[in-house]
Chains A and B, each alone.
Chain A
Amino acid sequence: MTATIEAPASQPIADMEADSLIGNFPEGQRLVGSQCNACGCTMIGSRVVCSSCISRDVSRVALPSTGVLYSFTRIHVGAEGIRPLGYVDLDNGVRTLADIHEGDIPLRPDMRVELDVEDDWFFAPAADDKREV
């Protein structure tokens, strides 16, 4: 006996294949985002499914390298010494968790920050924010 219709198999998503948040783009090293070609929703990371409209038509995009520091903390526990960590709202509205380098300027919510890449990637107060009080 052969059925007239065969139920199709769903396939797993290889989401552990590329989980680095930093990537090379024509404009340089940028945070990796994903944009839904169906509804336009933009998300952090390499994603296969749009969390808004569940379309699978999603493209890899470079995220903006500047944004606003929503909030931050300095973690005192752990092996790495004091570690500043914050949420950055990028200029296209996507939020990302990020290491924050403090430099000479005290961190404060709502300050402008920009991406920098050395051994690892982080955000630091933006040049255009340093003019502010």
Chain B
Amino acid sequence: MGDNVFVISAAMIPFGKYRTSSYVGLAVSPLIDAIRNAGIEKSDVDAVYVGHSYGGMMTGQRICKEIGLGTVPTVNVDNACSSGATAVHEAWQAISQGLIDVAVVIGVEKLTQFGGGTLPLSPEDREVKQGIIMPAVYAMRATRYLHDTEATPEDLALVSVKARKHGALNPFAQFRKEITVEEVLNARPIADPLTLPMCCPTGDGAAVVILASERARKRFESKPAIRVAASVLHSGHVAEGFRDMTKPEITYDSARDAYALAGIGPKDLDMIELHDAFSIAELIYYEAFGLAEPGHAVDLLRDGKTTFGGDVVVNPSGGLLAKGHPVGASGVAQIAEAFWQLTDQAGARQIDDARWAMTHVTGGGTAGLDHGACTIHIFEAA
């Protein structure tokens, strides 16, 4: 284990559709706000890590030059939906190893550039050539999960209902209206059994966090901070044959490693921001995180154990389903939510006495892999 690392600031724009904003236009405001909130000068920044998947060449440098933040290394990171969290992981590594003291991490994505439709995947991939799309991957997980367990389509809808309920409390969320189980089930089908509200929306977004070493944090210690208790990144492992799509090994492995690093278990967590790109994912991840035994995630959901007032609030921000999912921005936005919750800045969605938070993003549809990437962070109130 290396040196302690802290998140000392967070800022983001509400996720939504900003057709008149470029990657630069999306990211510059939260970048300035995060620097100001931290009480640092741009000259204090030792390195910049930028997560995005569709921003093109030198996205980070294009953003940083607008505020004259240069000279220091700027690293552009692509890991699909895990891009932003992978950028945080890289910053954490550099600080925990004592190489640098202050890192800015930007997550940014502009999905409105594609004019709608499902996420563009690599045209070189075998299954992409056959016509796979991300909703179909998750839909097949859902079909199998409903076949193997007592879960029903109503449970898939209930995940979306909870997400929208949380999103209604979050000024950063793309969807801020509540929805009923009936409305979810009767909505437009996307890939059976998933309907439109069981799928995350496309949109644009940018989020920024600033990480600092213990030494640097003491220089700016008038500001609130949270400690990074674990930062874990795994890649998918190929299976040429059978794979249980309801038990994604990449998330099981990442959660195991994150708990070990943090020295805590699932019962200690007060909140989780998890990768609910499609509603089925939330149920599968309850099990992967050890919140429920395999096949029994719906018990937690139906009993309200994962909403406000429950044992652990899952996706207090509304998650990807309600807050939105601008690919490269999502992992950083999750950490911004953890920062605000653990420093008592979460407004109407504040979780009482929150001490431990976990954030989780996967990434990528690639033939033979469950996911291409998975990043998990655990944070402790400092």
Give Cα A98–Cα B147 distance, bound, in whole angstroms.
Answer: 20
- The verdict on B130 contacting chain A, using a C-beta distance below 8 Å, is yes
Whole-angstrom CA separation of A109 from B143 in the bound complex = 8
Residue pair B118, A71 in contact (C-beta under 8 Å): no
Contacts A71-B143, A72-B140, A74-B192 given: A89-B240 contact, CB under 8 Å? no
Say yes or no for A53: interface residue by CB 8 A criterion.
no
- Chain A residue with minimal CB distance to B142? A73
Whether B140 and A95, one on each chain, are in contact in the complex, defined by CB atoms closer than 8 angstroms, is no
A76 and B189 contact, CB distance less than 8 A? yes
B241 within 8 A of A: yes
B129, B132, B191, B243 — most chain A CB neighbours (10 Å) = B191
Chain B residue contacts of A44, Cβ below 8 A: 126, 240
Known: A71-B141, A73-B191. 11 other contacts (CB 8 A): A19-B126, A19-B129, A41-B240, A45-B126, A75-B133, A95-B242, A97-B130, A97-B367, A98-B130, A99-B130, A110-B147
Given A44-B126, A83-B131, A76-B192 contact (CB < 8 Å): yes
Known: A41-B240, A42-B240, A109-B147. A77 touches B190 (CB 8 A): yes
Chain B proximity of A119: nearest CB distance (Å): 15
Chain A contacts for B135, CB-based, 8 A? 75, 77
- State the 10 A-B residue pairs at the shortest beta-carbon distance, nearest first: A73-B139, A71-B144, A71-B140, A93-B241, A109-B147, A74-B192, A73-B191, A76-B189, A43-B240, A71-B143
Q: B-facing mask of A74-100, CB < 8 A → 1, else 0?
A: 111110000101110100011101110
Contacts of A42 in B (CB 8 A): 240
In contact, A108 and B192 (Cβ under 8 angstroms): no
Q: Which residues of B contact A78 (CB under 8 A)?
A: 131, 133
Does B127 belong to the interface (CB within 8 Å)?
yes
Check if B136 is an interface residue, CB within 8 A of chain A: yes
Are B132 and A97 in contact (CB-based, < 8 A)?
Answer: yes
Q: Are A72 and B241 closer than 8 Å at their CB atoms?
A: no
A99 — which chain B residues lie within 8 A by C-beta?
130-131
Q: Which of B131, B191, B238, B367 contacts A76 (CB 8 A)?
A: B191
Is A55 interfacial (CB 8 A cutoff)? no
Q: For chain B residues 155-209, which have a beta carbon within 8 Å of chain A?
A: 188-194
User: In the assembled complex, which residues on chain B have CB atoms less than 8 Å from the CB atom of A97?
Assistant: 127, 130, 132, 367
Contact, CB under 8 Å: A85 / B131? yes
Q: How far is the CB of A72 from chain B (nearest CB, A)?
A: 6
- Nearest B residue to A109, CB-CB: B147
1/0 per position for A15-31, CB-CB distance to B under 8 A? 00001010000000000
Q: How far is the CB of A115 from chain B (nearest CB, A)?
A: 14
Establish whether residues B190 and A76, one from each chain, have CB atoms under 8 Å apart when the complex forms. yes
Q: Is the CB of A70 within 8 A of B189?
A: no
Contacts of B130 in A (CB 8 A): 21, 97-99
B192 x A85 contact (CB < 8 A): no
Task: Note all chain B residues with C-beta closer than 8 A to A43.
Answer: 240
Distance (whole angstroms) from the CB of A53 to the closest CB of chain B: 12
B72 within 8 A of A: no
Identify which of residues 77-120 in chain B touch chain A, using a CB-to-CB cut-off of 8 Å. Answer: 117-118
